[in-house]
A and B are shown apart, each in its own frame.
Chain A
């Protein structure tokens, strides 16, 4: 069974600070997705990474896929209150379903 762990579980920071959250597994994934979810809503896809070592940027968000395709990180620069939410990583494997981590709950205080 493929499992994903995320750290930290909770993170509360002030507006303007930088942060990094992590997604780790002992399994190799063909792709990894990051989602943000707000209360009462479904997860919204932020990015997909598929190549080991790949780095993608989405405005103030930087996503990196580990060389061995077992882990990933999400770095947010100058966090804003609008970044508040549950950040989920999900691993995909050829022909299989998506496996989700438990999420990192981020709170950005104004």
Chain B
């Protein structure tokens, strides 16, 4: 297993366009998390899944954001009608179990909205 994989690594889009990111977690990890990180800050929680169920969503996740994990494996994060404030690194992480002892991150997707 090669760890958490995110695609694409970089995305430049025009304001108003929709973008979709993909995350493939470590196989057999039942939990998957999405975080957003802006320059100089720590990661901010967006949402997480246990298997295919979305268990928690941050208030940061506006109506323009949606995440899915249809089969409990890979996940997608879609941002509709992107705004310049959406420019950030979007990080995906996965973990095993239900007691949250540790999470492993992918390399992230850097989004730039111009």
Contact = CB atoms under 8 A, between A and B. Distances in A.
A50 B104 contact: no
A6 B43 CA distance: 13
Interface stretch (A37-45, A59-67, A76-84): A37-45
Nearest to A31: B101
15 contacts: A30-B99, A30-B101, A33-B103, A42-B91, A42-B105, A50-B101, A92-B100, A94-B99, A96-B56, A97-B33, A97-B56, A98-B103, A100-B42, A100-B43, A103-B42
Nearest to B3: A42
B65 interface: no
Contacts of A6: 42
Given A92-B100, A92-B102, A95-B98, A100 B44 contact: yes
Interface of B: 4, 6, 33, 35, 40-45, 48, 56, 91, 93, 98-108, 110
Given A90-B103, A96-B100, A103-B42, 16 more contacts: A31-B100, A41-B107, A41-B108, A42-B91, A42-B93, A42-B106, A42-B107, A43-B43, A45-B105, A88-B43, A94-B99, A97-B48, A98-B33, A98-B93, A102-B42, A105-B40
Interface of A: 6, 30-31, 33, 35, 40-45, 48, 50, 88, 90, 92-103, 105
Contact of A102 (B41, B45, B106): B41
A43 B105 contact: yes
